Amino acid sequence: MFRSIVLGLAAVVVSATTAFAQAAPAAPAQAAAAPNPFVFPGDAGVILNFVKADKTADFEMVLGKAKEALAKSEKPERKAQAAGWKVFKATEAGPGGNVIYVFVIDPAAKSAEYSVGNILVEGFGAEGQTLYKTYSDAFGTPAIGALLHLTKVVDLGK
C-alpha cells in the first residue's frame, strides 16, 4: 500500500532565480565568504527539484537544451559533468501536486559548477537567458532546489 507522508528535510536550498544570480562572478571578498553551492567537492551530489505539474514539459525541454549545451561545450569539465549527471523523475507525487525531479551527480566533477543557468548561457548566449526563465518559471512551491553534497561512506559491494 502506498501512503503519503511529510518529513522534514533540512538542506541547502537555493531558488532557481537566486542560484543563477548567485552564479555570477563574485567579488573576491564574496567568493571567500561562501562556497558555491553548485560545486560538489565531495564524491557525489543530489538536487531535488519541485516542478509544477503543468510545467513538466517546459522543464524537460530546458533540460534537453542543457544536455545539448554540455555536449557541444569545448570545456573538458563540461564533458566530465555530463558523464556523471543523470536526471530522474520520481514516481511519487511531490508536495502540492508538484513533480519531483532528481539530479543525481555521481561522481561529481571536482571543481565544476552545476548551475543550469550558467550552462545554458554558456551554450546559447542570450537564448540561454530566455531558456533559464522558462526553467525558473517551472518551479513550484517550494521554488527551490534542495542540494545535498554527499561523501561516500561505503560501497556495499566492495
Partner 1 sequence: MLRWIALGLLAVQAAPPTSAQPPNTAQPPAPAQQAVAAPAPRVFASDYGLVLNFIKPDKTKDFEASIGKLKEALQKSPKPERKEQAASWRVFKAVEAATAGNVLYVFVLDPPVKGADYTVSTILAEAFPNEAQVLYKQYADSYGAGQNIVNLKLLSALGK
Report the distance separating Cα 64 and Cα 102, nearest Å. 15
The torsion region of residue 14 among left (phi > 0), alpha (psi -120 to 50) and beta comes to beta
157 binds partner 1 (CB under 8 A): yes
The yes or no reply on residue 43 touching partner 1 (CB under 8 A) is: yes
Region 91-130 residues binding partner 1, contact defined as CB under 8 A: 91-96, 100-102, 104, 106
* Residues in binding contact with partner 1, number by CB under 8 A: 65
Cα angle value 68/77/121 (rounded, 5°)? 45
Question: Is 90 in contact with 68 (CB distance < 8 Å)?
Answer: no
Alpha-carbon gap, residue 102 to 147, rounded angstroms: 10
If the CB atoms of residues 21 and 127 are measured against partner 1, the closer one turns out to be 21
Residue 61 binds partner 1 (CB under 8 A): no
Query: Which residues in this chain contact partner 1 in the complex, by CB under 8 A?
Result: 1-14, 18, 22, 34, 37, 42-44, 46, 48, 60, 63-64, 66-67, 70, 79, 81-96, 100-102, 104, 106, 142, 144, 146-157
